Amino acid sequence: MIRPAAGADLAALGLLWERYRIEADDSRFRDQASWGHWVLPRISAGDVRVGTADRTINSYVVWQRAASAGIAGGRVLRILELYVHPDGRGERLGSGLLARAIDAARQRECRAVALVSNIADPAVRALAAPFGFMPEGDCLVLALQRE
Protein backbone atom coordinates (compact mmCIF):
# COMPACT_ATOMS: atom_id res chain seq x y z
CA MET A 1 0.00 0.00 0.00
CA ILE A 2 1.22 3.51 -0.79
CA ARG A 3 -0.03 6.50 1.20
CA PRO A 4 0.94 10.06 2.11
CA ALA A 5 3.46 10.24 4.93
CA ALA A 6 2.46 11.68 8.30
CA GLY A 7 4.52 13.28 11.04
CA ALA A 8 4.09 10.10 13.09
CA ASP A 9 6.05 8.25 10.37
CA LEU A 10 9.22 10.27 10.97
CA ALA A 11 10.98 7.68 13.18
CA ALA A 12 10.35 4.83 10.72
CA LEU A 13 11.37 7.04 7.81
CA GLY A 14 14.56 7.98 9.66
CA LEU A 15 15.55 4.33 9.95
CA LEU A 16 14.95 3.82 6.24
CA TRP A 17 16.90 6.99 5.46
CA GLU A 18 19.92 5.64 7.39
CA ARG A 19 19.93 2.59 5.14
CA TYR A 20 19.37 4.73 2.01
CA ARG A 21 22.23 7.04 3.03
CA ILE A 22 24.65 4.10 3.25
CA GLU A 23 23.49 2.41 0.03
CA ALA A 24 23.40 5.64 -1.99
CA ASP A 25 26.54 7.06 -0.35
CA ASP A 26 24.50 10.21 0.32
CA SER A 27 26.37 12.60 2.59
CA ARG A 28 24.05 15.63 2.45
CA PHE A 29 23.04 15.32 6.10
CA ARG A 30 25.19 14.79 9.18
CA ASP A 31 22.70 12.67 11.06
CA GLN A 32 19.12 11.49 11.28
CA ALA A 33 18.04 14.60 13.22
CA SER A 34 19.24 16.99 10.50
CA TRP A 35 17.56 14.84 7.86
CA GLY A 36 14.38 14.90 9.95
CA HIS A 37 14.42 18.70 10.03
CA TRP A 38 14.77 18.65 6.24
CA VAL A 39 12.01 16.11 5.54
CA LEU A 40 9.37 17.18 8.10
CA PRO A 41 8.32 20.31 6.15
CA ARG A 42 8.05 18.16 3.02
CA ILE A 43 5.76 15.75 4.89
CA SER A 44 3.63 18.72 5.98
CA ALA A 45 3.51 19.96 2.37
CA GLY A 46 2.30 16.56 1.13
CA ASP A 47 5.53 15.87 -0.74
CA VAL A 48 6.34 12.48 0.80
CA ARG A 49 4.74 9.12 0.13
CA VAL A 50 5.45 5.87 1.93
CA GLY A 51 5.04 2.27 0.88
CA THR A 52 3.99 -0.27 3.47
CA ALA A 53 3.80 -4.03 3.78
CA ASP A 54 2.13 -5.59 6.80
CA ARG A 55 1.74 -2.05 8.22
CA THR A 56 5.51 -1.55 8.20
CA ILE A 57 6.95 1.34 6.22
CA ASN A 58 9.55 -0.14 3.89
CA SER A 59 9.85 2.50 1.16
CA TYR A 60 9.45 6.19 0.54
CA VAL A 61 9.73 8.97 -2.00
CA VAL A 62 10.40 12.66 -1.35
CA TRP A 63 9.79 15.30 -4.00
CA GLN A 64 9.76 19.04 -4.34
CA ARG A 65 8.32 21.32 -6.98
CA ALA A 66 10.92 23.71 -8.36
CA ALA A 67 11.46 26.17 -11.18
CA SER A 68 14.21 25.14 -13.56
CA ALA A 69 15.12 27.01 -16.70
CA GLY A 70 17.39 24.14 -17.72
CA ILE A 71 14.83 21.33 -17.53
CA ALA A 72 11.79 21.59 -19.76
CA GLY A 73 11.97 25.35 -19.46
CA GLY A 74 9.80 25.67 -16.38
CA ARG A 75 8.09 23.94 -13.50
CA VAL A 76 9.67 20.67 -12.51
CA LEU A 77 8.89 18.12 -9.83
CA ARG A 78 12.26 16.98 -8.50
CA ILE A 79 12.38 13.53 -6.91
CA LEU A 80 14.97 14.06 -4.21
CA GLU A 81 14.94 10.60 -2.62
CA LEU A 82 13.38 7.30 -3.62
CA TYR A 83 14.18 4.23 -1.58
CA VAL A 84 12.83 0.72 -1.15
CA HIS A 85 14.25 -1.46 1.62
CA PRO A 86 15.85 -4.64 0.21
CA ASP A 87 13.12 -6.76 1.85
CA GLY A 88 10.48 -4.91 -0.20
CA ARG A 89 12.22 -4.92 -3.56
CA GLY A 90 10.58 -6.81 -6.38
CA GLU A 91 7.08 -5.97 -5.12
CA ARG A 92 6.61 -2.93 -7.42
CA LEU A 93 6.76 -0.42 -4.56
CA GLY A 94 9.42 1.62 -6.36
CA SER A 95 7.25 1.78 -9.48
CA GLY A 96 4.23 2.72 -7.40
CA LEU A 97 6.10 5.51 -5.62
CA LEU A 98 7.46 6.81 -8.92
CA ALA A 99 3.95 6.75 -10.42
CA ARG A 100 2.65 8.78 -7.44
CA ALA A 101 5.35 11.38 -8.02
CA ILE A 102 4.43 11.62 -11.71
CA ASP A 103 0.76 12.02 -10.77
CA ALA A 104 1.70 14.81 -8.32
CA ALA A 105 3.68 16.55 -11.07
CA ARG A 106 0.67 16.48 -13.39
CA GLN A 107 -1.65 17.76 -10.65
CA ARG A 108 0.76 20.62 -9.99
CA GLU A 109 0.99 21.40 -13.71
CA CYS A 110 4.69 20.65 -13.93
CA ARG A 111 6.27 20.27 -17.33
CA ALA A 112 8.70 17.56 -16.27
CA VAL A 113 9.76 15.20 -13.53
CA ALA A 114 13.47 15.10 -12.68
CA LEU A 115 14.80 12.10 -10.78
CA VAL A 116 17.96 13.19 -8.98
CA SER A 117 18.15 10.35 -6.43
CA ASN A 118 21.13 8.02 -6.96
CA ILE A 119 20.82 7.91 -10.76
CA ALA A 120 24.18 6.20 -11.25
CA ASP A 121 22.65 3.04 -9.74
CA PRO A 122 21.62 0.65 -12.56
CA ALA A 123 18.55 -0.39 -10.54
CA VAL A 124 17.34 3.22 -10.40
CA ARG A 125 17.81 3.58 -14.15
CA ALA A 126 15.98 0.30 -14.73
CA LEU A 127 13.11 1.50 -12.51
CA ALA A 128 12.80 4.82 -14.37
CA ALA A 129 13.22 3.55 -17.96
CA PRO A 130 9.71 2.08 -18.45
CA PHE A 131 8.21 5.44 -17.49
CA GLY A 132 10.23 7.15 -20.23
CA PHE A 133 12.85 8.94 -18.13
CA MET A 134 15.89 9.98 -20.15
CA PRO A 135 19.35 11.12 -18.96
CA GLU A 136 19.75 14.89 -18.96
CA GLY A 137 22.73 16.38 -17.17
CA ASP A 138 22.95 15.06 -13.63
CA CYS A 139 19.42 13.63 -13.50
CA LEU A 140 16.87 11.50 -15.33
CA VAL A 141 14.04 13.54 -16.83
CA LEU A 142 10.53 12.69 -17.91
CA ALA A 143 8.87 15.39 -20.04
CA LEU A 144 5.14 15.55 -19.38
CA GLN A 145 2.61 16.01 -22.15
CA ARG A 146 0.29 18.98 -21.80
CA GLU A 147 -3.32 17.81 -21.79
The CATH number that domain 2-143 falls under is 3.40.630.30
Contact 49, 83 (CB under 8 A): no
Which neighbouring-strand residues pair with 114?
78, 141
Parallel/antiparallel/unpaired status of strands 74-84 and 134-136: unpaired
pLDDT at 60 over 90: yes
Percentage of residues of the chain with pLDDT beyond 90: 59
User: Considering the entire predicted model, what is its pTM?
Assistant: 0.89
pLDDT at 51 over 90: yes
Q: Distance between CA 105 and CA 111 in Å, rounded? A: 8
Q: Distance between CA 88 and CA 94 in Å, rounded? A: 9
pLDDT at 121 over 90: no
